[in-house]
């Protein structure tokens, strides 16, 4: 309820009570004056009949005419004024009663007015105290959901306080989660870095005793792994911080897949793996060419590592809602227990390739989802691991 409406209701309440009190006062005053009038007429008639008993018929006739609403005609014959009487001569006895009635009505109105104000102030004080106690509970971390009150001037303030507290709690939970994720990432990074450093140290010790081409190749391999780890961590940190800007432009799906395959040409040749990308006509998605290509490279590379000597297949199609891209291999597929965790950072499945660091799939997922897309992993009915990517047309990803 708005403040203006609340004031209107309060004013209407005071006015209603005042009118009821005024009506009651008028009724009491009317009854009182009716009694005075009756006593006055009764006294006058008694005096007349004592002095002139034979005038009883004339008195009764005058009273009947007065009661029959003919008093106006009688009042036109002014008898008392020539005899020196005034209206005030007959109202002096009621003066005190009039003053008493006036003071009583005024006092009742003042009382009702101040009672209403005091009651309103008391209710406001209670509401303020309740909100203050709620904020105290918030400060010590023991706040509960605000109980529902009737709508009043403080309802909007209560709603805003609840929204602010809810936002603060969400921000706190997000900060705690981010802190936990940061600690977990640091632990995983330390573990990932420890492996190549240990391998390099062992190779260096071997080379100190005797020169070995194999040890030198091992050092180069581990240094390359550290370089890849560093690059991936930098990209992930930019994604987490929101500083990685992805361009929004129309790009052709076949072009993205072909460029990704070209970057893996040497690896495919070395592993004896081929890749099949059918040309299905022009189909465009709104995305960043370079980073989308990076995501596809990671997915194709994952399929290649589990399908050496086989073929990595690609397929894509489009409908009014989304563009779907499928990338699958002819290997044994994913272990069932690995599927829920494949896109977690630093997670490496049971059949993960040697030297992997468990960041590629996580990076692909974040790149795709930040471009209004989704990705999921599944096994093909006839065998083989499959990645299903969807880029949605406008709106939010589903």
CATH code assigned at 269: 3.30.565.10
Choose between 245 and 175: higher pLDDT.
245
Q: Are residues 97 and 175 in the same domain?
A: no
279-291 average pLDDT score: 93
The answer to whether position 147 is within a domain reads no
- Please give the C-alpha separations between residue 66 and each of 59, 61, 73, 75, in angstroms, as whole numbers: 11, 9, 9, 10
Instruction: Give the lowest-confidence range in 10-19, 84-93, 296-305, 321-330.
Output: 84-93
What's residue 398's pLDDT? 43
Q: What pTM was estimated for this model as a whole?
A: 0.52
Most confident of 29-38, 169-178, 289-298: 289-298
275 and 203 in a single domain? The answer is: no
Residue 308's φ and ψ, nearest 5 degrees, are -65, 130
Residue 145 belongs to some domain of the structure: no
Range of 46-60, 105-119, 304-318, 339-353 with top mean pLDDT: 304-318
Residues 259 and 383 in one domain: yes
Residue 202: what pLDDT?
73
Residue 68 gets which letter from DSSP? I
Tell me if 398 is assigned to some domain: no
Q: Are 101 and 29 in contact (CB under 8 A)?
A: yes
Residue 183 pLDDT? 60
Give me 188's structure tokens.
């995983």
Q: What total number of domains does the chain contain?
A: 3
Residue 124 has pLDDT above 90, yes or no: no
Domain boundary among 109, 139, 169: 139
Residue 151 lies in a domain: no
Q: Which of 30-44, 63-77, 174-188 has the lowest mean pLDDT?
A: 63-77
pLDDT for residue 31 is more than 60: yes
What confidence tens digit (pLDDT) does each residue in 135-162 have? 777 777 666 666 555 666 677 777 777 7
pLDDT at position 261 over 90: yes
- Mean pLDDT over 266-294 rounds to 93
Average pLDDT over residues 220-239: 74
Give the pLDDT band (50/70/90) at residue 325: very high
Cβ atoms of 185 and 169 within 8 Å: the answer is no
What is residue 223's predicted lDDT score, i.e. its pLDDT? 76
**146 with 156: CB under 8 angstroms?**
no
Query: 75-79, 113-117, 196-200 — which is least confidently predicted?
Result: 75-79
d(CA 44, CA 46): 5
Q: How confident is the model at residue 94 (pLDDT cuts 50, 70, 90)?
A: low
Q: What is the DSSP letter of 54?
A: G
Q: What percent of the chain has pLDDT over 90?
A: 24
Residues 215 and 253 in one domain: no
Structure tokens at 385: 């691991």
Confidence of residue 1 (pLDDT cuts 50, 70, 90): very low
Q: Which domain holds residue 352?
A: 249-392
Q: For the chain, give the mean pLDDT.
A: 77
Structural domain ending residue among the three candidates 213, 241, 269: 241
Evaluate whether residue 144 is within a structural domain. Answer: no
Instruction: Give the per-residue pLDDT at 167.
Output: 81
Q: Is residue 16 one of the residues assigned to a domain?
A: yes
Q: Which pLDDT score, from 0 to 100, does residue 51 have?
A: 77
Percentage of residues in the chain having pLDDT higher than 70:
69
Question: Is residue 150 domain-resident?
Answer: no
DSSP labels, 299-333: HHHHHHHTSTTSEEEEEEEE-SSEEEEEEE-SS--
The whole-angstrom separation of Cα 298 and Cα 312 is 13
Boundary-marking domain end, from 201, 222, 241: 241
Domain presence at residue 272: yes
Residue 179, pLDDT > 70, answer no
- pLDDT-based confidence at residue 219 (cuts at 50, 70, 90): confident
Are residues 162 and 106 part of one domain? Answer: no
Question: Within this chain, do residues 220 and 106 fall inside the same structural domain, yes or no?
Answer: no
Same domain membership, residue 110 and residue 48:
yes
Angstrom distance (rounded) from CA 352 to CA 297: 17
Same domain, residue pair 160 and 102: no
Cα separation of 45 and 58, whole Å?
Answer: 11
Here the CATH number for the domain that contains residue 229 is 1.10.287
212 and 86 in a common domain: no
Tell me, yes or no, whether 279 and 386 share the same domain: yes
Whether 167 and 111 map to the same domain: the answer is no
Do residues 105 and 44 both lie within one domain?
A: yes
* 74 pLDDT higher than 60: no
């Amino acid at each position: 309820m708005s403040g203006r409406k609340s004031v209107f209701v309060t004013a209407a309440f005071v006015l209603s009570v005042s009118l009821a009190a005024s009506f009651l006062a008028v009724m009491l005053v009317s009854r009182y004056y009716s009694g005075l009038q009756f006593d006055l007429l009764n006294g006058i008639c008694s005096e007349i009949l004592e002095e002139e008993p034979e005038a009883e018929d004339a008195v009764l006739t005058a009273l009947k005419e007065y009661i029959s609403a003919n008093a106006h005609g009688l009042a036109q014959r002014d008898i008392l004024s020539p005899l020196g009487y005034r209206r005030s001569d007959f109202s002096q006895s009621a003066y005190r009663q009039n003053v008493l009635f006036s003071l009583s009505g005024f006092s009742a109105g003042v009382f009702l007015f101040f009672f209403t104000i005091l009651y309103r102030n008391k209710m406001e004080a209670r509401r303020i105290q309740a909100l203050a106690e709620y904020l105290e509970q918030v400060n010590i971390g023991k706040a509960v959901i605000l109980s529902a009150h009737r709508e009043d001037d403080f309802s909007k303030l209560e709603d805003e306080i609840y929204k602010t507290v809810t936002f603060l709690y969400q921000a706190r939970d997000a900060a705690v989660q981010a802190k936990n994720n940061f600690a977990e990432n640091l632990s995983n990074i330390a573990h990932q870095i420890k492996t190549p450093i240990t391998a390099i140290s062992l190779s260096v010790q071997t080379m100190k005793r005797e020169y070995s081409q194999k040890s030198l190749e091992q050092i180069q391999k581990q240094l390359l792994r550290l370089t890849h780890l560093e690059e991936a961590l930098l990209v992930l940190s930019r994604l987490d911080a929101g500083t990685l800007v992805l361009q929004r432009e129309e790009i052709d799906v076949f072009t993205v897949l072909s460029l990704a395959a070209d970057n893996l040409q040497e690896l495919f040749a070395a592993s004896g793996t081929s890749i099949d990308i059918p040309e299905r006509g022009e189909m465009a998605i709104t995305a960043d060419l370079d980073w989308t290509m990076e995501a596809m490279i990671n997915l194709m590379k994952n399929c290649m590592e589990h399908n050496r000597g086989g073929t990595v297949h690609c397929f894509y199609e489009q409908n009014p809602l989304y563009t779907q891209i499928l990338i699958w291999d002819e290997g044994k597929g994913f272990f069932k227990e690995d599927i829920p965790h494949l896109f977690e950072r630093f997670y490496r499945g049971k059949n993960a390739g040697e030297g992997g660091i468990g960041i590629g799939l996580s990076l692909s997922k974040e790149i795709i989802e930040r471009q209004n897309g989704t990705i999921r992993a599944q096994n093909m009915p006839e065998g083989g691991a499959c990645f299903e990517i969807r880029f949605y047309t406008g709106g939010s990803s589903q």
